[in-house]
Amino acid sequence: MLTLATVTPGEPEIFASLQGEGRSAGLPCTFVRLSRCNLACSWCDTAYTWRFEGETRPHRDGVVFEREANQVVLSEEDVAARIMALGGNRLVITGGEPLLQGAALVRMVALLDGHAVEIETNGTVAPHRELAPLVSQYNVSPKLKHSGNTAAIALIPERLSAWSNEPKAHFKFVVATPDDLGEVLGLIEAHTIPKARVQLMPEGTSSAVLRAREAWLAPLCLQHGLGMSDRLHIHRYGDTRGT
């Protein structure tokens, strides 16, 4: 069984859209958003996947979500059937932290036909041993200090080094200020992360904030030989579910 986020109560967040960020930006994809996360980013734009009643980890919006309305449990067969019904040939599994449900993901992905599969992860959880041959790309987004998570839980050295050595892994660092670049460069050096597999993405949930931050981020990317990722879905749809 898989625990998914919802678009509306009882309706799982499974949808077709263009990928908004990272290496596959602009490509048509089917998305599946899973619920639950082991981290708690203060600026998380999908807090409805983890900040339920009784949650004490802080978030800048201070919003708490009702678990029953924002989670739904479906069989792997049901999820796979819904994905196949949308057509397409590229699947993005996002969250929350999808790799927390690794065994169920293996069973679900094995039921798909003709899909390139991407998994978005915060980089703290090792993928299930049977998942690797089923996945074409890992989108790894380690969380920096400004996320509010401690390095002890968000930047686990052995995991970062393992992702660095995984050719399918592409890194996407969310940055909020120019000062964040020093932390990114330190992680790249410490874990020998190939710069060709690194993108920097501005934190923000509005076009105005993203554009303002891209103004100083683009020159930094050029200076240090790093890629830059926009958030196309924010410009097109705003900060909304199912997009």
Could you report the per-residue pLDDT of 72-91, keeping only the tens digit for each? 999 999 999 999 999 999 99
**98 Rama class: left (phi>0) / alpha (psi -120 to 50) / beta:** alpha
- pLDDT band per the 50, 70, 90 thresholds, residue 141: very high
Domain assignment present for residue 236? The answer is no
Containing structural domain, residue 41 = 2-172
Give the strand pairing for 90-94 and 116-121.
parallel
Q: How confident is the model at residue 67, as a pLDDT?
A: 97
Rounded Cα distance between 148 and 41, Å, is: 6
Domain assignment present for residue 199? The answer is no
Place of tokens 């990317």: 221
Domain assignment present for residue 190? The answer is no
DSSP state of 125: S
The CATH number given to whatever domain includes residue 120 is: 3.20.20.70
Lay out the sheet containing 11-12: strands in order across.
11-12, 2-8, 71-74
Question: Among candidates 152, 155, 203, 207, which has minimal Cα distance to 179?
Answer: 203
The mean pLDDT of the chain is: 97
Domain assignment present for residue 217? The answer is no
Range with lowest mean pLDDT among 29-33, 59-63, 117-121 = 59-63
Task: Please write the tens of the pLDDT for every residue from 165-210.
Answer: 999 999 999 999 999 999 999 999 999 999 999 999 999 999 999 9
Rounded Cα distance between 238 and 243, Å, is: 9
Domain assignment present for residue 124? The answer is yes
Question: Among candidates 83, 46, 26, which has minimal Cα distance to 241?
Answer: 46
Domain assignment present for residue 143? The answer is yes
Q: How many domains does the structure of the chain reveal? A: 1
Q: What is the pTM of this model?
A: 0.96
The stretch 139-145 carries a mean pLDDT of: 98
Considering just the CA atoms, what is the radius of gyration of the chain in Å?
A: 17
Distances (CA, A) of 22 to 95, 114, 138, 196: 15, 22, 11, 13
Domain assignment present for residue 84? The answer is yes
A 10 A CB-CB count for 158 gives: 9
Domain assignment present for residue 21? The answer is yes
